[in-house]
Structure 1
């Protein structure tokens, strides 16, 4: 059987050795992964020019060496489109954004999956007036835009920041704070969180935990299998 080619677009630099291996385990051997990054070919100094200004939609990602970078969405949209075009040229049969941020429509001749929409509709299936969600995002600066987005859903949301790229123990601290809120479900709202991070959050909170990248990988596998 010829492997199905799937193109993954990261808002940072490729390859994403931190999250793609875990996604490949879910997808299985029938899939060939192609990667491209919106920051590929740029130095850290060049990326700093994309730092968010007041009013920008904030994104958090990483360089190829694992260094965390914070960027404004508007600066990388043309570069993301270029990644889509490149991966289609390389033979990708379907495309997946490696970011749970909100994006405008992209131009694509192939199926393009947006993780945020998959995650949002999954949460819609869980929602109710008395459901308590605990949501984890990378940066405190991102929490206002996340709160605004989830106002439309029923239930109670508690928001906490913990970067998957930080050197300290932000994840453990956020999980302890989440536990005090006693959520029914914890949502790890960034494609940079890994299965190991999910396991740690579950151990601390004792709650069911949704990991964005594995949820999306399962949706992709269902679509193309």
Structure 2
């Protein structure tokens, strides 16, 4: 097992030039990163066949050219498993999913890191009576599944949607709305949100902000140090 070689899997197309460099900056230059994507090799027209229907678990990601796509989780699960197997064969010592969505159990011969488990357990650490947690998620269509997930929390969750791959003003508008709700902390619940977006939200709201990719990156750094 080579712990200097990390496999990273996007639910979209690789390489994720918008995500991986920031995580690599946390891990250090001595770490080699292998990438694979659940939508690799597919055209935009082919990906449109994966569009969600009623009741589907919705995911938001991007193509290699940066185009935003919305897909149903069920269509990419076999492709994600193949990505895990591929990166394992290529020598990855640890495999990281670049998505905060909730997934069924995959088969992996290597340690598999799922950001959803890290992020949601981190959120639970802030939970308590009277606590208000602001959540920024990519799509309004994801609010229902998020509300269901956090329904048993003691505190209040306040959600706003802003795609990291959409219009430049989406994050600012969501931050403005969250500021009015006056949460104690804001969680940017998608690996697509950047450090620059976090800085913008923190500056606009004056609140502590948790960024998914940096939290996951620092967790991985702890494993490797």
TM-score interval for Structure 1 and Structure 2 normalised by the shorter chain: over 0.9
Matched residue, 2:211: 211
5 Å-filtered alignment, 1:37-52, equals: 37-52=37-52
SS of residue in 1 equivalent to 2:150: helix
Alpha-carbon separation, structure 2, partners of 1:146 and 1:163? 15
Report how far residue 29 of structure 1 moved.
1.8
Matched residue, 2:201: 201
What are the Cα deviations for residues 149-172 of structure 1, in whole angstroms up to 9, with x where unaligned? 011222111010000000341100
Please say if residues 119 and 212 of structure 2, whose CA atoms lie closer than 8 Å, have aligned partners that are also in contact. yes
Matched residue, 2:68: 68
Which ranges in structure 2 are unaligned for 5 or more consecutive residues?
Answer: none
Please say if residues 3 and 29 of structure 1, whose CA atoms lie closer than 8 Å, have aligned partners that are also in contact. no
Matched residue, 1:180: 180
Name the TM-score, length of structure 2 as normaliser: 0.98
For the aligned residue pairs, the C-alpha RMSD in angstroms reads: 1.0
SS of residue in 2 equivalent to 1:151: coil
Name the TM-score, length of structure 1 as normaliser: 0.98
Alpha-carbon separation, structure 1, partners of 2:38 and 2:158? 31
Alpha-carbon separation, structure 2, partners of 1:128 and 1:62? 35
Matched residue, 1:112: 112
Which ranges in structure 1 are unaligned for 5 or more consecutive residues?
Answer: none
Consecutive aligned runs of 4 or more in structure 1 exceeding 3 Å deviation: none
